[in-house]
Chains A and B, each alone.
Chain A
């Protein structure tokens, strides 16, 4: 294994390889930052460029792209309230309020640093689990997928805090949105009202673009001013504070990275769920924060950003072990490998360990490189939040709509973005949590599919959910996540009462 690792480092150390990696990383940053484009598009677009390359060179280029997209995506999430790619959606919850308070530099600094460290932890985990990959992937069967989804839904419900009723309403609507379209179990199309666009379901990226970016522009248009509400003499570049905050809150970063790696390794779940779970768990672990979550708590940026970069390493576990992509990006990456005559799966792990480690090293270096670029430019990027609404609204709206269109060159997606923009605006206006809505859309289909499959496997016997080791563990985590905030509050109340009694 060490020989393969050294070979990976040697492959990457030539100037040509480093240039490829830097190019991939910059493309990844740009495609990540522009809403709607994302890493999947970047990898797909770069495929023809790799035709003339050696397989390891193609791997370096693609590794550069994959490790940098979510770092790029965090920039637009923080500055414009628009997740560049879906997994960055959770970053908007605290990143954007920070930008509104004039702390965009700090948020970008924290986000980028958490991304780099998360990415490195994810890759280290990948290397560590290579020998036991098979066991990990085989642990997850439909009942476990279902329990994982339920855990996610409960965690997010609890994190809506005092807005529990609004949280439940939006979660139900979100689940219903998630059910629209083609259903794999029955091969039937549901709730499409005969509209061809809805046949494949409501696509997440245009919906998120509407829900976060355009709705925010409508809100800004109504309010006026600029994104940053603070006085213009506030120092904009507090990047180093952001970097420091990650080291200060290292446990948030480590837990987030753990979520990213673990959930990334489960095929079909992906970075979005990892980032949301990491965010909501962080909010639960910290019931009495200095700054409320959703109002600009820096830990609310660190948690999802470390998770969505760590998932790059995690999602390669099923990709390399079984040839089953853990995410959309890795699906395209699989295609690249096949084009170069490399068949992913066990054979790759056994016969081409040098290539696996070239990828590992490329992912690590690119995660760090992308972060350095972002940290270097954050000062200038943060100026975006000072731009007057008259300039900002048309620019962002156009970029967002082009992003929604570019995804599938489908005008219907632009309509979806518009519809979700108005839903998003009314949610802002009437204080309904967009977090719950988004996570319910993402988890809706996984919940339904895995429940249905579990029932088919067990002949409608519900005990399948509580008679298997991992599902019991996930059930226990779910109960814990529901009870933990109340328990913590009660303990605190008791402590306060005791202190008062003593006084």
Chain B
């Protein structure tokens, strides 16, 4: 008798659980959703998150607001920790900066979150790199000059552990060049300016940023026009007519870059996650949003939840191979 009751109860609760999943999705969202920003106001992440908010609202039914909230600190870690500690109810989402956000996990630092456990909703944008020098002040005019250089190459860059630094460290290690990093620049636009001023010889730059800098119509005033690409990190044909890492036999390097992937608290019910992921995909592919991205030089690169989850796995496996280089890079810079 007891076992019958137990079996009945289990059956009922199972039915209730299965039935409640769509119910949760039907209900969701009932409260405002906080779209966390891991960096301060004004930067790229801030801008794209705020722009995305109204589209997400529209595709989630328009009843609740998407509230953008800056939570800067610990180079982005603070917001990820905050997200990881929320109740898994889809009320908080965050646009992660990959691979930057994965680095503490990869080198075994205490992070307070694990990118392998985050519930990924989809990718919004991505960027890939080129190597640039100054047309006027640069000592090395081609990548061959760099590879044959007798003196040490100097590279102005942000600090060790940042996405640009990591990509540089892996790239130059693969090409057998041991450069000296002039670190401490706050952003890529500042270290690009450093190359123009002659602080160092060359640097790594997102293709989108480069195109944005040089797309100006009039020649005389464009300061960044002085930047000249010498190597493109791709397996395809170069957009700029320069040698590529693929041509140099370094096919693996094509993964180097940055991905802006939105995630929510680990353990979020599938129905809620799916609804959020669906709204995100629709937002990112909304023609108006796509047009905005193209206009401001930040083209979208949509990926759905499953593909984004797969990508995070691939990025993790790739960068973990370089764990030692990445961990040591902190000690190399004085």
By a beta-carbon cutoff of 8 Å, the part of chain A in contact with chain B is 40, 43-44, 47-48, 51, 134, 137-138, 141-142, 182-188, 196, 199-200, 267-268, 321-325, 328, 331-335, 338-339, 341-343, 345-347, 349-351, 408, 449, 452-453, 456-457
| Contact, CB under 8 Å: B199 / A453 | yes
Further 5 A-B residue pairs, CB within 8 A, beyond A200-B74, A335-B50, A339-B47? A40-B41, A137-B223, A186-B334, A324-B187, A335-B47
Roughly how many angstroms separate A183 CA and B183 CA in the complex, as a whole number? 10
Give the nearest-CB partner of A410 in chain B: B73
Roughly how many angstroms separate A350 CA and B86 CA in the complex, as a whole number? Answer: 46
Cβ–Cβ < 8 Å partners of A351 in chain B: 217
With a cutoff of 8 Å between Cβ atoms, the chain B residues found around residue A342 in the complex are: 296
Report whether B297 and A44 are in contact in the complex, using a CB–CB cutoff of 8 Å: no
Query: B295 in the interface, Cβ–Cβ < 8 Å?
Result: yes
A137 and B159 form a contact (CB under 8 A)? no
- Shortest Cβ distance from residue B46 to the other chain A in the assembled complex, whole angstroms: 5
Are A456 and B222 in contact (CB-based, < 8 A)?
Answer: no
Given A324-B190, A345-B212, A346-B216: A184 and B42 within 8 A (CB)? no
| Cross-chain contact of A188 among B198, B222, B330 (Cβ < 8 A) | B330
Tell me if B276 counts as interface (CB < 8 A to partner A). no
Asked if B197 contacts A141 (CB within 8 A), the reply is yes
Cβ of B189 within 8 Å of any chain A Cβ, yes or no, is yes
Return 15 A-B CB contacts under 8 Å, by A number: A138-B197, A142-B199, A184-B183, A186-B333, A187-B162, A188-B330, A199-B74, A333-B42, A335-B42, A339-B50, A339-B51, A341-B296, A343-B212, A346-B216, A453-B182
Q: Which residues of B contact A338 (CB under 8 A)?
A: 47, 296
Give the residues in chain B near A332, CB-CB below 8 Å.
41-42
Q: Which residue of A lies closest to B192 (CB)?
A: A322
CB distance from B67 to the nearest CB of A (A): 10
In the complex formed, the residue of A with least CB distance to B165 is: A187
In the bound complex, how far is the Cα of B330 from the Cα of A149, in angstroms?
A: 27
User: Smallest CB-CB separation from B212: which chain A residue?
Assistant: A343
Cα separation A47 to B41 with both chains bound (whole Å): 10
**Interface check B215, CB cutoff 8 A:** yes
Instruction: Please measure, in the bound complex, the distance between the C-alpha atom of A267 and the C-alpha atom of B74, giving whole angstroms.
Output: 23
Take A325-B42, A339-B51 as given contacts and tell me if A457 and B160 are in contact as well, using a CB distance cutoff of 8 Å: no
Check: B54 CB closer than 8 A to any chain A CB.
yes
Is B90 in contact with chain A by the CB < 8 A criterion? no
Rounded to whole Å, the gap between the CB of B209 and the closest CB of chain A is 10
Specify the chain B residue showing the minimal Cβ separation from A268: B186
B40: CB under 8 A from chain A?
A: yes
Q: For B199, list chain A residues within 8 Å (CB).
A: 141-142, 453, 457
Cα–Cα distance between A341 and B298 once the two chains are bound (Å): 11
Chain A residues positioned under 8 Å from B158 (CB to CB):
184
For B160, the closest partner residue in chain A by CB is A187
Is A187 a contact partner of B161 (Cβ separation < 8 A)?
A: yes
CB closest residue in chain B, given A144: B197
Residues of A within 8 A of B197 (CB): 138, 141
CA distance A325 to B184 in the complex (A): 17
A200 — which chain B residues lie within 8 A by C-beta? 72-74
Residues of A within 8 A of B47 (CB): 335, 338-339
Q: From residue B26, how far is it (CB to closest CB) to chain A in Å?
A: 28
B224 is an interface residue with CB less than 8 A from chain A: yes
Query: Are A187 and B224 in contact, CB atoms less than 8 angstroms apart?
Result: no
Question: With the chains together, A449 CA to B185 CA distance in Å?
Answer: 9
CB A434 to nearest CB in B, in angstroms, measures: 27
**Interface of A, helix, strand, loop or mixed by DSSP:** helix
Which residues of A sit under 8 angstroms from B296, Cβ to Cβ?
A: 338, 341-343
> Are B74 and A457 in contact, with the CB atoms below 8 A?
no
Q: CB of B75 within 8 A of chain A?
A: yes
- How far, in whole Å, are A321 and B196 apart by their CA atoms in the complex? 14
Asked if B193 and A134 sit within 8 Å, CB to CB, the answer is no
Which A residues are in CB contact (< 8 Å) with B295?
A: 341, 343
Bound-complex Cα distance A378 to B140 (A): 62
- Indicate whether A324 sits within 8 Å of B182 (C-beta atoms), given known contacts A331-B40, A338-B47, A338-B296: no
Give A448's nearest chain B residue, CB to CB. B184
Which of A44, A185, A324, A345 is the one whose CB lies under 8 Å from B159? A185
Bound Cα distance from A346 to B215, whole angstroms: 9
B189–A343 touching, CB < 8 Å: no
Residues of B contacting A186 in the complex (Cβ-Cβ under 8 angstroms): 159-160, 183, 330, 333-334
Our pick among B50, B54, B224, B333 for the contact of A185 (Cβ within 8 Å) is B333
Q: Whose C-beta in chain A lies nearest to the C-beta of B187? A: A324
Give which listed residue, A40, A343, A350, contacts B218 with CB less than 8 A: A350
B200 in contact (CB, < 8 A): yes
Q: How far is the CB of A43 from chain B (nearest CB, A)?
A: 8
Q: Does B59 contact A (CB under 8 A)?
A: no
Given A182-B75, A322-B189, A453-B184, A349-B42 contact (CB < 8 Å): no
A324: nearest chain-B partner, CB-CB: B189
Binary interface profile of B, 193-227, with partner A (CB < 8 Å = 1, else 0)?
11011111000000000001101111001111000
Contact, CB under 8 Å: A331 / B43: yes
A347 to B157, CA, bound (A): 24
B50 contacts which chain A residues (CB < 8 A)? Answer: 47-48, 335, 339
Cβ of B154 and Cβ of A334 under 8 Å apart?
no
> How close is B7's CB to chain A, nearest CB, in angstroms?
50
Interchain nearest-CB distance for A478 vs B (Å): 22
Is B180 among interface residues, defined by CB-CB distance under 8 A? Answer: yes
* Complexed CA–CA distance, A339 and B48 (Å): 8
Closest Cβ of chain A to B292, distance in Å, is 6
Min CB distance, A492 to chain B, in Å? Answer: 43
Q: Write out the residue numbers on chain A whose beta carbons fall within 8 Å of the beta carbon of B216.
A: 345-347, 350
**Separation of A58 and B221 alpha carbons in the complex (Å):** 26
- Chain A residues contacting B217 (CB-CB under 8 Å) are 347, 350-351
B298: min CB distance to chain A, Å: 8
Pick from B43, B185, B333: contact of A335, CB below 8 A: B43
Inter-chain contact B182/A457, CB cutoff 8 Å: yes
Q: List residues of chain B with CB within 8 A of the CB of A408.
A: 72-73
Give Cα A323 to B212, complex, Å: 11
**Docked pose: A196 CA to B72 CA in angstroms:** 13
Q: Which residues of B contact A48 (CB under 8 A)?
A: 50
Contact yes or no, B218 A322, CB < 8 A: no
Q: 4 closest pairs, A vs B, by CB? A: A331-B42, A187-B159, A185-B184, A184-B184
Give complex CA distance A457, B180 in Å. 9
Partner of A346, one of B75, B187, B224, B334: B224
The answer on a CB contact under 8 Å between A267 and B190 is yes
A346 touches B186 (CB 8 A): no
Question: B196 contacts which chain A residues (CB < 8 A)?
Answer: 138
Distance in angstroms between the alpha carbons of A246 and B190 in the assembled complex: 38
Checking B41, B161, B221 against A134 with a beta-carbon cut-off of 8 angstroms, the contacting residue is B221
The answer to whether B54 and A187 have CB atoms under 8 Å apart is no
A51, A199, A268, A449: the one contacting B54 at CB < 8 Å is A51
Q: Are A452 and B184 in contact (CB under 8 A)?
A: yes
| Cα(A247)–Cα(B187), bound, Å | 42
Q: Smallest CB–CB gap between B218 and chain A, Å?
A: 5
Contacts of A324 in B (CB 8 A): 187, 189-190, 193
Cβ-defined contact, B189 with A187, below 8 A: no
The distance from the CB of B81 to the nearest CB of chain A, in whole angstroms, is 9
* B292 pairs with A341, CB closer than 8 A: yes
State the CA gap A196–B77 with chains docked (Å): 11
Would you call A334 and B74 a contact (CB within 8 A)?
A: no
Identity of the chain A residue whose Cβ is nearest the Cβ of B218 in the assembled complex? A350
Residues of B with C-beta under 8 A to A182: 74-75
Q: Report the Cα distance A456→B292, complex, angstroms.
A: 40
